[in-house]
Amino acid sequence: MRLAVNIDHVATLRNARNEQQPDPVTAASIAELAGASGIVCHLREDRRHIKDRDLERLRESVTTKLDLEMAMTGEMQRIALATKPELITLVPEKRRELTTEGGLDVEGQLAKLKKFIPPVRDAGIEVSVFIEPERGAVDHAAEAGADLVELHTGPYSLKKNRADILAELDRIRTAAAHARESGLRVVAGHGLNYYNIEPFSTIRDIEEISIGHAIVARAALVGMESAVREMLRLINAPS
């Protein structure tokens, strides 16, 4: 299983003092050298962490795969078409949220998705849609013309007792299998950390995991290289 590293919160730390350090672009390079298969950044409408210039610099330096997380707006579509990341991930975005709070309403936004996705794919950029791990959401993402789905693991990460954790894992496993059968590639992310990641190493239909906060938090104390290597060890633990 591969690991994509989201470096947004390196920018959060930098922005706390309006200075240049730590640099998310340097963090991305170290994550790649440590084995990350991709770098993820979310350019938010309010630019609270990653800024436009960071995205330009990431595009120049990322050699694995750049995944631009973004809301489905005209502004973001223009930026994606100009920057040409390998992949965009469409997420819902609310101004007041601390982080992305749920999957995209793919059913309600189906008509918009069907218009939004083709010009992006025509430009050679793959499109992933962040969805709840549900059969209907998978079907709508396939109908919208996405290449991949990213299954939302936030609810899994919040479960406290074993029965609830196993039930949520089962929901993710089932949705992943259905997505693969529907011709979609599958990744997963949100809220995953060093303590809840291990069961994912057994879900073969998921090809990549996307992790931000937990890796950046550990990197602040032990360094990005160790933080990435340790997570890779866990997601590829023998089952």
- CB atoms under 10 Å from CB of 82, counted, come to 11
Binding flag, residue 99, ligand PXP (CB under 6 A): yes
- Please tell me the distance from the alpha carbon of residue 73 to that of residue 236, in angstroms, as a whole number: 36
In the bound complex, what is the minimum distance in angstroms from residue 131's beta carbon to ligand PXP?
Answer: 10
- Please tell me the distance from the alpha carbon of residue 224 to that of residue 106, in angstroms, as a whole number: 35
- Whether residue 155 is preceded by a cis peptide bond, meaning omega within 30 degrees of 0, is no
Most distant pair of Cα atoms in the chain: their distance:
48
Binders in 147-166 for ligand PXP, by CB under 6 A: 150
Task: Compute φ and ψ for 139, nearest 5 degrees.
Answer: -60, -40
In the bound complex, what is the minimum distance in angstroms from residue 163's beta carbon to ligand PXP?
Answer: 23
In the bound complex, what is the minimum distance in angstroms from residue 14's beta carbon to ligand PXP?
Answer: 16
- Please tell me the distance from the alpha carbon of residue 200 to that of residue 188, in angstroms, as a whole number: 9
Residues labelled as active-site residues: 42, 69, 190
Size of the chain, expressed as the number of residues it contains: 239
Segment (H or E) for 57: helix 52-61
Binding flag, residue 77, ligand PXP (CB under 6 A): no
- Enumerate the H helices of 86-149 as residue ranges: 110-122, 135-144
- Please tell me the distance from the alpha carbon of residue 144 to that of residue 147, in angstroms, as a whole number: 9
Binders in 122-141 for ligand PXP, by CB under 6 A: 130
Binding flag, residue 211, ligand PXP (CB under 6 A): yes
In the bound complex, what is the minimum distance in angstroms from residue 210's beta carbon to ligand PXP?
Answer: 4
Piece of the chain touching ligand PXP by CB under 6 A; list 51-59, 138-146, 211-219, 224-232? 211-219
Q: Which of 149, 191, 219, 231 binds ligand PXP (CB under 6 A)?
A: 191
Binding flag, residue 196, ligand PXP (CB under 6 A): no
Task: Spell out, one character per residue from 171 to 190, where the chain touches ligand PXP: x when CB under 6 A holds, - when not.
Answer: ------------------xx
Q: Which is nearer to ligand PXP, 66 or 214 (CB)?
A: 214
- Please tell me the distance from the alpha carbon of residue 8 to that of residue 189, in angstroms, as a whole number: 14
What is the binding site for ligand PXP (CB under 6 A)? 6, 8, 42, 69, 89, 91, 99-100, 130, 150, 189-192, 210-214
